[in-house]
């Protein structure tokens, strides 16, 4: 049995690819599409570094076979800033401004989870934020500055950066 070509829409761009059944979505993103912003941490679905948005919802790219994303939208960190690459997304700006990035390895996954949270709930409480990012481990920041950065993107945070 031959597998039909995989159709995925990565950061708004259609891809029709011949992909073996045992290909992990994360490897497809990083190796086949050369989008290395998505990181491999544990590879076991525990650390959240590989978080991408599948049809807008955060998932572990390391625990999905590429073919499970057939017909789906996949958004990675590369698709977040404006396409010209000159302006960062407000969430990215907030992470920079609040010092929510240290080594940066967890940042793409963390920002993707934050994006999904703010898309569905533009006014999250601190607890909402902590619960949403519970599956994204950061070993540098102690999380306070990350929560600050996501809070700063919430509607009514007074920063005029109402997102979503």
Interface residues with another protein (CB under 8 A) are 1, 3, 20-22, 24, 43-46, 48, 51, 54, 57-60, 63-65, 67-68, 70, 113, 116, 130-132, 134-136
Cβ of residue 65: shortest distance to another protein, in angstroms?
6
Cβ density class 58-88: b for 16+ within 10 Å, e for less: bbbbbebbbbebeebbbbbbbbbeeeeeeee
Give 42 or 103: the residue with its C-beta nearer to another protein: 42
- Smallest distance from another protein to CB 9, Å: 17
Closest separation between CB of residue 84 and another protein, Å?
Answer: 30
Residues in the chain: 164
| Residue 99 or 142 having the CB closest to another protein | 142
The Cα diameter of the chain in Å comes to 57
Q: Select 44 or 84, whichever has its Cβ closest to another protein.
A: 44
* CA–CA separation, 100 and 21 (whole Å): 37
Whichever of 2 and 86 has its CB closer to another protein, that residue is: 2
**Nearest residue to 101 via CA among 61, 134, 133, 143:** 143
Least separation in angstroms between residue 105's CB and another protein is 16
How far apart are CB 101 and another protein at their closest, in Å?
20
Q: What per-residue string of b and e applies to 13-49 under the rule 16 or more CB within 10 Å gives b?
A: eeeeeebeeebbbbbbbbeebebebbbbbeeeeebbb
Q: Are 104 and 65 in contact (CB under 8 A)?
A: no
Instruction: State which residue, 93 or 128, has the beta carbon closest to another protein.
Output: 128
């Amino acid at each position: 049995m031959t597998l039909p070509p995989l159709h995925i829409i990565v950061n708004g761009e259609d891809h029709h690819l011949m992909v073996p059944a045992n290909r992990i979505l994360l490897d497809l993103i990083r190796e086949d599409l050369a989008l290395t912003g998505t990181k491999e941490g544990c590879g076991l679905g525990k650390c959240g570094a590989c978080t991408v948005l599948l049809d807008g919802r955060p998932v572990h790219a390391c625990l999905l076979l590429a073919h499970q994303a057939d017909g789906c939208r996949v958004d990675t960190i590369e698709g977040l800033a404006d396409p010209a690459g000159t302006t960062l997304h407000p969430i990215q700006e907030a992470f920079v401004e609040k010092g929510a990035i240290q080594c940066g390895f967890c940042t793409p996954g963390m920002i993707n989870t934050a994006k999904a949270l703010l898309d569905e709930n533009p006014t999250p409480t601190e607890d909402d934020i902590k619960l949403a990012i519970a599956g994204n481990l950061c070993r540098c920041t102690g999380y306070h500055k990350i929560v600050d950065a996501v809070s700063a993107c919430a509607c009514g945070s007074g920063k005029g950066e109402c997102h979503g």
